[in-house]
Structure 1
Amino acid sequence: MELNTRRIDTSGARSESLSIINGMRHLKLEVKTEGGLSASASFVAKANPLNRAPHKRKSELHHALCNMLSSILAPLAGGGKGQWPPPGVQRALTVWYEAVARVRMQIIHWADKQSKHIPVSKC
């Protein structure tokens, strides 16, 4: 909600947005209960970098959101071996996988489009 209030693309709003995003890198998602998993899936869906597209310097905000999401999701990828998925959360687990997959596919598509616009001499 805070990022949505800063849709006007001024340097001040962009700076505030980047500060909010950088602070969110330290969030821990709850994925062991159905309620926690549902709330975490909702957060991932709302934090999708491609949900908002500021007019200028959009890649700066997109990259910050991608970094934030990877910081939040990375501990979940390696932790809890043998404890994932938690029992009895099938419906929430489906929503979780859909939210993560949607973000992943949109970022892949966006990154592919961006890389096609980079001149070969810059690579």
Structure 2
Amino acid sequence: MQRDMQVAFSSSFSGSKTHLQTALSALGEGEYRTAVRELIHAVESAVKDFTGDQSAVLSKALKSLINETGVHRALADAFDKLYAYTSDEKGIRHALVFGNNEKVGFDEGVFFLSACTAFVGFLSRKKQG
């Protein structure tokens, strides 16, 4: 994960870097919901930068990755599903009308940190090569 973090922070994906830094701070402060939200935003930002379509929703941009760069459909679908997890009716990305999402804790934060950082690093390496 440390290598992916280095790659992500040295990439041209400036929005992703900001989201990753905010997520790291939130995770350290025990704000797991915020960390997960920022991490999925890091992926969304990297995909938009990678595809050059800043107005695309993540699912559309992920389809572009499949069609234009050969990213495997199952990998793109996995991140589309993670995005859906953060967007459900009581989701992490929604306003706090439902109160804190008690199901988002340290374990979810670490999982999203690992998965999202790895994907941003993956896209960064793809863009370079």
What's the TM-score, normalizing by structure 1? 0.37
Please state which structure has a larger fraction of its residues in helix.
Answer: 2
Q: Name which structure has the greater RCO, CA cutoff 8 Å, separation 6+.
A: 2
What's the TM-score, normalizing by structure 2? 0.36
